[in-house]
Structure 1
Amino acid sequence: MITRYAAGALAAGAAALWLTAAHAHSVKAEPTEAVQASFDIIETAIVTKGDTAVFTTRVRGEAGKDKPDATGKFEGSSVYAYVWPTSLNSGEIGFDRDRGIVALAVTFHPDFDDAANGGKNRHVWHPHWVVLAQDKACGGGLKVIDIPEGTKPKVPKTWPGVPLLIDSPDYPTSFKGETVDVAIPLSLIGGIKNASYDGVTAGLKVNGNLHAPLLCVSNVFKVASGDLSLPGKVAPAK
């Protein structure tokens, strides 16, 4: 079901290639001219280097160049994101187990802050863990899972206090030319060593009425595999 939503949002002509273990465990994709260059994924990978897991996406243009326009208000505002959907369990990132699709996302949103402990992050690209689920109300078929009013689910220490399954850890994140990288200590996500993954670029939108779903994936720009099948395999860097 999920693969249908993601594939339907892809521009025509996108093609993905999964390299075999003899070459690498990354996911590669052919350039797609219909996709904006800064979001046109060419390759995505997660590798381990010593005691660190490094998440990398390479695009056809300059990574991070394009950002959503500010609207001046939270409701109806937009988010751009470079995303790594994974096979991790939500329990491995500090939430209750088996809640949905765990993804690391590097986001930019000029209209609100969602850093941990009241920090400011609206003017910089920054990482989040998010837990996603299907929702037909969202243009991209997926949402960040809402926390219903009156419930108290398990959340990580760096949960930003919003009613969503979202975490705001302070991981080193860098943009260099055509690539975006995030480095995470393996001690914080030990399960990543055996994980599968994919690469996605997407736009998200805050519900204008501030009701559930509060944060939708509104537009999938590109999926590295073409079908969100998580063909990448985390492996040590060579």
Structure 2
Amino acid sequence: MFLLTGSLAAHEIESAADAAIEPAFDIRRAGATATDRLMTFSMELSGEAGSIKPAATGDLPGAGVAAYVWPTGLDPATVGFDKASGILALAITAHPDFDDTPLFDENADGDPANDGADWHSHWVVLEKAEACGAGYKVRDVSPGVDALPSTAPMLPIALDSPGMSPRLDGNAVRITVPMANGADVAFDAVTAALRVHPQGKMPLLCVTGVHDIASGDLSLPGRVIAE
């Protein structure tokens, strides 16, 4: 799965087009920049960003998730998770069967609990899991026991819903997040499918398939460029 297909161009990551990958998830370039208080992550794709979402099933158990993800070298404690608890990743996701951003009304219809199908952002902590199809999961946690950020939706996984709005425009995905001292942080870019466990058991949210990895081997070769 993690064959080397990408190469480092300056501090960005470039990846060759792959006709075997759905164009909406075929990464061509990934980059990240930082000011003294903000970080911006971007991804360019072969096709239209965000044009494909999971089919709705009407149930949370077994629900599918589509994701554009930037794994980083940041410690999870940077945003409020337990220190050294896994890979801190910034993710843009869509999942029509559930809403995990209860503090925010992404579609501005007055109901903050019906927005899961719209593309939205998360910080997540990833860790290896042999039980998951692609070998990774969002870390299972116990709210009230494990550290979680103040904007976490208090699900039993290491997931935060900080409310930053992603921009999906043409073949580009872009998101800006508050983060100081982000320059030179290592990163990679991944497009992936996840799925909630059909019986609600652990691991609760598995990475079930990887469409593309910008580096080819999840080695985090990119570096955040100071603006």
Q: What is the TM-score normalised by the length of structure 1?
A: 0.88
Percent identity between matched residues is 39
Specify the alignment match of 1:229 in structure 2.
219
CA RMSD, 1 decimal: 1.6
Asked if residue 142 in structure 1 is aligned to residue 136 in structure 2, the reply is yes
SS in 2 for 1:28: strand
Asked if residue 127 in structure 1 is aligned to residue 121 in structure 2, the reply is yes
Question: How many residues of Structure 1 are paired with residues of Structure 2 in the alignment?
Answer: 219
State the Cα distance separating 1:50 from its structure 2 match.
6.2
Distance 1:65 1:180, change over 3 A: same
Specify the alignment match of 2:83 in structure 1.
97
Q: Is the 8 A contact 1:80 1:109 kept in 2?
A: yes
Note the alpha carbon deviations across 1:68-122, whole angstroms, 9 max, x for none: 1001100011000000000000100111101000000000000001004483321
Specify the alignment match of 1:44 in structure 2.
30
Q: Is the 8 A contact 1:16 1:30 kept in 2?
A: yes
SS in 2 for 1:194: coil
Note the alpha carbon deviations across 1:120-177, whole angstroms, 9 max, x for none: 321210000000100010001000000148x611111100010000000111311110
> Quick one: distance in 2 between partners of 1:50 and 1:194?
12
Segment drifting more, 60-69 vs 108-117: 108-117
> Quick one: distance in 2 between partners of 1:195 and 1:116?
30
Specify the alignment match of 2:66 in structure 1.
80
- Give structure 1 stretches of 5+ with no counterpart: 1-5
> Quick one: distance in 1 between partners of 2:157 and 2:36?
32
SS in 1 for 2:175: strand
After TM superposition, list the pairs within 5 Å mapping 1:161-172 onto structure 2.
Answer: 161-172=154-165
- Give structure 2 stretches of 5+ with no counterpart: 105-111
State the Cα distance separating 1:51 from its structure 2 match.
3.9
Letter in 2 for 1:198: D
State the Cα distance separating 1:49 from its structure 2 match.
4.5
Specify the alignment match of 1:155 in structure 2.
148
Greater per-residue helix proportion:
1
SS in 2 for 1:97: coil
Letter in 1 for 2:39: A
Note the alpha carbon deviations across 1:33-90, whole angstroms, 9 max, x for none: 0000000000011112564211101000000001110011000110000000000001
Asked if residue 179 in structure 1 is aligned to residue 172 in structure 2, the reply is yes
> Quick one: distance in 2 between partners of 1:148 and 1:155?
9
Distance 1:206 1:234, change over 3 A: same
Asked if residue 65 in structure 1 is aligned to residue 51 in structure 2, the reply is yes
State the Cα distance separating 1:193 from its structure 2 match.
2.0
> Quick one: distance in 2 between partners of 1:207 and 1:108?
17
> Quick one: distance in 2 between partners of 1:98 and 1:173?
27
Q: Is the 8 A contact 2:184 2:226 kept in 1?
A: no
